[in-house]
């Protein structure tokens, strides 16, 4: 269990982790943001060595729920999947920019969303509280698709796996991650 203190300063937060070690031993750990990222990096590194890449994706999304972001790639920094996790959210950002190659994969990504039953927010009468959906926005000259998975970690992991294997044509064995 992790408690975040001191509001919306995303990179200056402090973290209190409460965990049980062994039989009845309560452990309290206090982390600065930088120390918390080092702690999470060690946790993810150990898990990645023990898990199949497809299992690791969901584990990483759940484990990093108190971090600000999590980015996956398989060796090509232009073919990536990034999640915004700040404020306890699970939102995949798909930015269409001149500096990345995601635009040519957008229709395929939308097809995968459709197969997963994830639809654009405008197709719902009101904003859903638990159903995954996506929105399309604009930031300057860049178009951004934001897929809000709510707490559907398995659905988010399935999308990531499908994007890398079927759309990007990359092998999950080369999966890398970056947290922040």
What digits encode the pLDDT tens for the residues 143-153?
999 999 999 99
State how far the Cα of 124 lies from the Cα of 170, in Å rounded to an integer: 34
Res 25: pLDDT:
79
Helix, strand, coil percent content, the chain, rounded in steps of 5: 35, 30, 30
Domain definitions of the chain by residue range: 51-179
State how far the Cα of 89 lies from the Cα of 150, in Å rounded to an integer: 7
State how far the Cα of 80 lies from the Cα of 128, in Å rounded to an integer: 27
Q: Which of 9, 45, 40, 15 is nearest to 28 (CA)?
A: 15
* Strand, coil or helix: 163: helix
Res 122: pLDDT:
81
Res 95: pLDDT:
95
Res 12: pLDDT:
61
Residue ranges in the chain modelled with pLDDT below 50: 1, 3-7
How far does Cα 177 stand from its chain's mean position? 10
What is the side-by-side order of every strand in the sheet holding 69-73?
119-120, 133-139, 142-148, 91-96, 80-84, 69-73, 176-179
Res 6: pLDDT:
46
Res 1: pLDDT:
47
Res 121: pLDDT:
86
| pTM of structure | 0.83
């Amino acid at each position: 269990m992790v408690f975040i203190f001191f509001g919306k300063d995303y990179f200056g937060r402090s973290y209190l982790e409460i965990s049980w070690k062994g039989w009845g031993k309560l452990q309290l750990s206090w982390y600065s943001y930088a120390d918390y990222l080092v702690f999470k990096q060690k946790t993810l590194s150990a898990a990645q060595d023990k898990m199949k890449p497809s299992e690791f994706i969901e584990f990483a999304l759940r484990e990093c729920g108190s971090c600000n972001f999590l980015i996956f790639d398989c060796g090509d920094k232009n073919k990536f999947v990034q999640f915004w996790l700040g404020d306890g959210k699970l939102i995949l950002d798909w930015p269409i920019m001149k500096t990345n190659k995601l635009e040519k994969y957008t229709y395929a990504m939308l097809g995968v969303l459709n197969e997963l039953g994830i639809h654009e927010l405008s197709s719902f009468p009101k904003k859903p509280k638990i159903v995954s959906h996506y929105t399309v926005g604009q930031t300057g000259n860049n178009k951004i698709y934001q897929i809000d998975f709510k707490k559907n970690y398995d659905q988010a992991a399935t999308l990531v796996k499908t994007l890398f294997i079927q759309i990007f044509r990359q092998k999950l064995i080369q999966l890398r991650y970056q947290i922040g």
